[in-house]
C-alpha cells in the first residue's frame, strides 16, 4: 500500500528490453536509500515493483509481461524520470489516499492549461470503462501521485497541479499525447461495482 505522496524523483539509468521482459536500473537520491533493502516494494510511477538488487543509490527491478501490458513501462527509456514512493508503514501519516500500486489503466494527456502558479491537465483513459470510477472531487492516482479530480466528461477528466506538486513530481514535464499510469480509487470502484450488481443483474 502507498499514499500517493511522492518522496523523490528517480532517473532511469539503464533499461534492457527483452521479449515481454524488462530489466530496469534507476538512480535515486542518497537520502532515500537509508532504510531500503532487497525485496522491498517501491512505487515507480504508481506501479508497485519489487527491488531485486541495491548498489549504492541504484535500484534494480525486473518487469514482467503482465505489468508491461497494463502500464506505460514498455515505452520508458533511459533518462526518463519516475515518481517514487516507499510502501506505507502502519505508523505513517496518510497525506494522500490509499493506493495499492496496481495500475488499472493508461490515460493520454489531451490538453494542458498553464497558469502562473498552477496547471490544469486533461486526460483520456484508453479504456472508457475506467470513467465510471472517476468522479468529480474524487481521488485518482496518476503516475503515483494522489490527485483530486476536477472536471469529468464522458470520456475524459481533468486535475489541477498546485505549486508543491509541480515542484516535487515529474508530471509537470509531461506533454500533450504522452501517456500516464492511472489507478482509480479502490473504494469508489468497490462501491460502483456493488451498486451495479445490486441493480443491474
Averaged pLDDT of the chain: 93
How far apart are alpha carbons 94 and 77 in whole angstroms? 31
Note the pLDDT of residue 201: 65
Q: What is the rounded CA–CA span in Å between residue 152 and residue 125?
A: 12
Tell me how far apart the alpha carbons of residues 122 and 176 are, in angstroms, rounded to a whole number. 9
Task: Specify the range with the lowest mean pLDDT, choosing from 19-23, 49-53, 103-107.
Answer: 19-23
**What confidence tens digit (pLDDT) does each residue in 42-91 have?**
999 999 999 999 999 999 999 999 999 999 999 999 999 999 999 877 66
SS3 of the chain: helix, strand, coil, percent, to 5: 20, 40, 35
Residues 61/98, Cβ–Cβ less than 8 Å:
no
Q: Which CATH number fits domain 105-200: 3.40.30.10, 2.40.30.20, 3.40.50.150, 2.20.28.270?
A: 2.40.30.20
Distance CA 85, CA 46 (A): 8
More confident of the two residues 196 and 91: 196
Predicted pLDDT of residue 198:
86
Which ranges in the chain are annotated with CATH 2.40.30.20? 8-86, 105-200
Q: What is the pLDDT of residues 134-176, one digit of tens each?
A: 999 999 999 999 999 999 999 999 999 999 999 999 999 999 9
Cell of 65: 509481461
CATH architecture of 8-86: Beta Barrel (2.40)
Confidence at residue 96, expressed as pLDDT on a 0 to 100 scale: 74
Amino acid at each position: 500500500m502507498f499514499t500517493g505522496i511522492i518522496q523523490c524523483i528517480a532517473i532511469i539509468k539503464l533499461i534492457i528490453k527483452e521479449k515481454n521482459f524488462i530489466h530496469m536500473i534507476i538512480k535515486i537520491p542518497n537520502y532515500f536509500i537509508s532504510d531500503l533493502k532487497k525485496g522491498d516494494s517501491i512505487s515507480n510511477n504508481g506501479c508497485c515493483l519489487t527491488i531485486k538488487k541495491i548498489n549504492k543509490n541504484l535500484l534494480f527491478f525486473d518487469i514482467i509481461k503482465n505489468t508491461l501490458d497494463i502500464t506505460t513501462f514498455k515505452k520508458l527509456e533511459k533518462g526518463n524520470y519516475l515518481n517514487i514512493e516507499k510502501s506505507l508503514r502502519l505508523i505513517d501519516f496518510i497525506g494522500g489516499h490509499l493506493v495499492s500500486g496496481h495500475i488499472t489503466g493508461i490515460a493520454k494527456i489531451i490538453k494542458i492549461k498553464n497558469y502562473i502558479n498552477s496547471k490544469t491537465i486533461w486526460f483520456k483513459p484508453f479504456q472508457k470503462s475506467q470513467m465510471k470510477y472517476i468522479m468529480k472531487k474524487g481521488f485518482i492516482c496518476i503516475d503515483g501521485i494522489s490527485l483530486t479530480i476536477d472536471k469529468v466528461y464522458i470520456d475524459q477528466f481533468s486535475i489541477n497541479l498546485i505549486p508543491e506538486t509541480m515542484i516535487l513530481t515529474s508530471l509537470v514535464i509531461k506533454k500533450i499525447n504522452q501517456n500516464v499510469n492511472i489507478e482509480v480509487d479502490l473504494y469508489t470502484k468497490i462501491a460502483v461495482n456493488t451498486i451495479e450488481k445490486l441493480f443491474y443483474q
